[in-house]
């Protein structure tokens, strides 16, 4: 055999030895982790046997915490669905508002605020019959009614209040 073949065989043997060693090391690590897990479980079972009341109280508290977390997730999901529905209604009402204009092409939304009570407040501009641009307002009530330029309702539901600006998220 030539020197090159001997070197090649030595390299292959080295690689195989490294592979075997690595496999053994990984196996040892897995065995140690399994033993540690088994010891921890045995210690926990021993503690539960020695302290049944405390263990039951801990288990009950853990179940209650999981229930509370699940309930909070349900509420958050329901709120997200409700808010998405409100956004869709707000978009639909904006289209209806535009269609109600004498010159729908001149309609421009300036602000659309979704309020905590479900009202949607619109600030918009459009051209009037004489061609002048007018700034106006409208409210989509929580009951789904669109009220245009009704100052009393706008002041009650929208004026000097903050809400979620929907116009920025639509752009």
Query: pLDDT tens digits, residue range 120-152?
Result: 999 999 998 888 999 999 999 988 899 998 989
* Cα-trace Rg, the chain: 35
DSSP states of 143-155: TS-EEES-HHHHH
The answer to whether residue 15 is domain-embedded is no
- Answer for the pair 141, 156: CB distance below 8 angstroms, yes or no: no
> Cα(107)–Cα(115) distance, rounded to whole angstroms?
22
Q: How many domains does the chain have?
A: 1
Question: Has residue 4 been placed in a domain?
Answer: no
| pTM, entire model | 0.60
* Residue 100 DSSP symbol: T
The stretch 4-33 carries a mean pLDDT of: 88
1 found inside a domain: no
Alpha-carbon span 95 to 162, nearest angstrom: 23
Specify if 51 maps to a domain.
Answer: no
User: Residue 162: beta bridge partners?
Assistant: none
pLDDT at 169: 53
In a domain, 116, yes or no: yes
Examine residue 159 and state whether it is found in any structural domain, yes or no. Answer: yes
Q: Is residue 54 part of a domain?
A: no
* 33 belongs to a structural domain: no
The range of the structural domain enclosing residue 110 comes to: 80-170
């Amino acid at each position: 055999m030539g020197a090159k073949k001997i070197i090649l065989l030595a390299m292959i043997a080295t690689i195989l030895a490294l592979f075997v060693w690595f496999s053994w090391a990984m196996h040892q690590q897995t065995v140690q982790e399994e033993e540690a897990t088994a010891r921890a479980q045995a210690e926990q079972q021993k503690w539960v046997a020695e302290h049944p009341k405390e263990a039951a109280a801990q288990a009950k508290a853990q179940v209650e915490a999981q229930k509370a977390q699940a309930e909070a997730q349900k509420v958050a999901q329901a709120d997200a669905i409700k808010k998405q529905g409100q956004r869709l209604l707000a978009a639909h009402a904006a289209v209806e508002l535009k269609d109600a204009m004498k010159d729908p092409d001149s309609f421009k939304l300036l602000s659309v605020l979704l309020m905590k009570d479900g009202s949607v407040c619109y600030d918009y501009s459009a051209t009037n019959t004489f061609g002048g641009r007018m700034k106006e307002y409208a409210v989509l009530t929580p009951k789904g009614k669109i009220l245009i330029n009704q100052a009393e309702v706008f002041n009650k539901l929208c004026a000097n209040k903050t809400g979620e600006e929907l116009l920025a998220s639509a752009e």
